[in-house]
Structure 1
């Protein structure tokens, strides 16, 4: 077919007559979207993968334990025969406070202050049972103060004579020698005055959380030395851990070489075998009245807990020279309290084996129940409120940190009643597992 033929011309005209297609807005939008998806999809997939990888690589939060009940109240009610005046407190070492009486306000405590004096001396110059310790030389001040007629003192000391630290502590705590207290303070602090030692007494009080206690002298004769019954039991629990202190305050009397007089303890309750009293210290003065901090024992079940009590501000009617009758009053009133507490002290079951006591929280919302691995029993009195805590256990073969995984029945920690009096293992009630992948991918924060 030659150029310019009629057929060729007709074909061209036919093409020109066809309408030109113009894309619609919807088509343009679809094409644009398609191009964007093709362009961004790989980037988004890469970002999602990076985020997911980062989430999975993030360290898991540390699991922690939550106790189901923070306290346990022993069944029954304890009616302590507190006196009509003063203040008092009773506690079981490790289990916590049984009862308090009166307003716990700071009041003079007389020779009860010597408990802290002995505590600080033994902290600075510790003794083992059977040791006599260093030598203490009597100075002229201790001799002169031994002639005072208006305070308790050790008479008959001679300047330059020497006694062991152990014997000086006996003179301090058994007959309550004020001159001995001051001499020990000067010796312990290696100072000509008692001021440095008194500051140590106050530091020790702060360390024991005795917030309402201030010491102004080592003997307690100064009315500025004040405390509360509750504070004194904090000190009593701490100092009764010392073997030497316990052995001294349990003595009803003692003889000292080169000392003509036998030391006689004012705490006559030591002579009552049915009470099992083993200390600690009496106090009496006109500002303080009669005061006593006592310690005793009673076997309940398989345990023999230490019971501690304090009674302050016991005042007999006048005349009461040097608070002698007030001292007799505080001893009599304390005996009633001791008899009552001993009479109702029992071994209380706080939880039974298999009881659910809390759970492990994995930090991402997962919870695994914990059950007691054994019965938890503690010495307690009716109505006593015991604090319950969950924690990690120590010792050979026991867990030292909360695990992320554990089989059913595996030990995870311990449940403690009171302030460390007794603990039992707690075990996983269900399988303890790490958070799932889904949880780890979706966690925030």
Structure 2
């Protein structure tokens, strides 16, 4: 037993310190942190890399390389215009060779009868070979014949009660140029000559014959005036009527009372001439509106023209001079008209620039040829749809159209060049870097 003097005071003992963390656990934390950071970096890099793939590719750009127009190669023809009077020369479905002698309205004599026949046939149409309705010569019309003959008019004999078909009456007007039958037809159609003349002028206005004024249906009155340009406008329309074109191409016809009559237009059947109408008076001189047909590349092409105001002391001289002035025009036009290739197969029309250096070309897949003459302007129209991302080589894509002068359009196909493909994903990513 311990006494008080030997009793010891015990100090409190501190708790033991925790053992140090193992080194392996600390290293594991570092690795986890590193891995997390790497994942973040890889995710960012991936997002950066695929960003270009999420952006739509731009549309391919098409650049036209073909000019908008070209000209038929060669020297333009020299047109042998008459030295006096007016003239105009054009080709149906192609264009105009031009005019000469100005555009002042002048008397046109019996060329007037083209409008007379045109109005009659538009009011009373006939097919080829069809005779149509009948008209009877009145006593008053027959009684006027001696005075008309005394004035030296161009006529066909008529008697009261004579019956003409519409076709026969038109033959009388257009072949031997019968003034009296022009007046008879006018009254038959409109009730009076004056009412018919109003129809003639209304028709001229409707056709755009702005420098033409009719005062009678025969052309005997010098107050009936027009221009070569206006008469070509009318001639082109008249030749679209089958019966008109058929009649003016005839060299002769057989009529009631008169028997056989001849066409005053002695050019018919020569140099391809198929009509249309002569005219001659002291005031008008020798006049001729003409049409001729020539073959070009297997196609029938119609040449239409007018020559007015050829001098001469009388009708035979005036007509002879107008015929001599006309033949060179017809021959020049026919000789100048040929088929010309203006676009060849394989001719480049456009380039196509795709994204990241991809691209191809667009070229003509068909040769385009036009009818015309050297020096004529040819318009080239191109229609290329939007180019897709993928386009196989030699794929039909778009069209090209050539128009010579005022002619009908000639259209061909366009084709692609080398194959067009979009850039690969790798190329898009690499380009972005």
Number of the residue aligned with 1:345: 337
CA contact (8 A) 1:146 1:153 kept: no
How many corresponding residue pairs?
339
Which string of whole-angstrom CA distances, capped at 9 and with x for unpartnered residues, describes residues 51-98 of structure 1?
A: xxxxxxxxxxxxxxxx95367455312122222111111111111101
Q: Within the alignment, does 1:292 sit opposite 2:288 as a pair?
A: yes
- Cα gap change, 1:277 to 1:160, in 2 (>3 Å): same
In structure 2, C-alpha distance between the alignment counterparts of 1:122 and 1:265, rounded to whole Å: 19
- Give 3-state SS (helix, strand or coil) of 1:296's partner: strand
In structure 2, C-alpha distance between the alignment counterparts of 1:277 and 1:68, rounded to whole Å: 38
**Which has the greater radius of gyration?**
2
Q: Which of these residues, 258, 266, 274, is aligned with residue 260 of structure 1?
A: 258
CA contact (8 A) 2:285 2:309 kept: yes
- Give 3-state SS (helix, strand or coil) of 2:99's partner: strand
Which string of whole-angstrom CA distances, capped at 9 and with x for unpartnered residues, describes residues 174-208 of structure 1?
A: 0111111111112122x1x2222222222222222
Number of the residue aligned with 1:439: none
- Give 3-state SS (helix, strand or coil) of 2:221's partner: coil
In structure 1, C-alpha distance between the alignment counterparts of 2:386 and 2:170, rounded to whole Å: 53
Displacement after TM superposition at 1:151 (Å): 4.5
Q: Within the alignment, does 1:114 sit opposite 2:113 as a pair?
A: yes
In structure 2, C-alpha distance between the alignment counterparts of 1:263 and 1:411, rounded to whole Å: 58
Q: Within the alignment, does 1:313 sit opposite 2:304 as a pair?
A: no
The equivalences for 1:143-162 within 5 A come to: 143-147=142-146, 148-149=148-149, 150-162=151-163
Q: Within the alignment, does 1:245 sit opposite 2:241 as a pair?
A: no
Displacement after TM superposition at 1:421 (Å): 3.4
Displacement after TM superposition at 1:415 (Å): 4.0
In structure 2, C-alpha distance between the alignment counterparts of 1:220 and 1:337, rounded to whole Å: 25
Q: Within the alignment, does 1:222 sit opposite 2:213 as a pair?
A: no
In structure 2, C-alpha distance between the alignment counterparts of 1:203 and 1:157, rounded to whole Å: 30
In structure 2, C-alpha distance between the alignment counterparts of 1:249 and 1:215, rounded to whole Å: 21
Q: Which TM-score applies when normalising by structure 1?
A: 0.68
CA contact (8 A) 1:373 1:424 kept: no
CA contact (8 A) 2:345 2:367 kept: yes
Which string of whole-angstrom CA distances, capped at 9 and with x for unpartnered residues, describes residues 348-367 of structure 1?
A: 334334557799xxxxxxxx
Number of the residue aligned with 1:185: 186
Number of the residue aligned with 1:169: 170
Number of the residue aligned with 1:123: 122
Number of the residue aligned with 2:357: none
- Give 3-state SS (helix, strand or coil) of 2:170's partner: helix
In structure 1, C-alpha distance between the alignment counterparts of 2:350 and 2:202, rounded to whole Å: 38
In structure 2, C-alpha distance between the alignment counterparts of 1:123 and 1:205, rounded to whole Å: 13
Mind listing any 5+ residue stretches in structure 2 that lack a counterpart? 1-65, 352-360, 418-433
Mind listing any 5+ residue stretches in structure 1 that lack a counterpart? 1-66, 360-368, 393-401, 431-445
In structure 2, C-alpha distance between the alignment counterparts of 1:78 and 1:223, rounded to whole Å: 35
- Give 3-state SS (helix, strand or coil) of 1:118's partner: helix
Once the two structures are overlaid, the 10-residue window that deviates more, 299-308 or 132-141, is 132-141
CA contact (8 A) 2:213 2:224 kept: yes
CA contact (8 A) 1:372 1:415 kept: no
Number of the residue aligned with 1:46: none
CA contact (8 A) 2:137 2:162 kept: yes
In structure 1, C-alpha distance between the alignment counterparts of 2:152 and 2:348, rounded to whole Å: 59
Number of the residue aligned with 1:419: 406
Number of the residue aligned with 2:268: 270
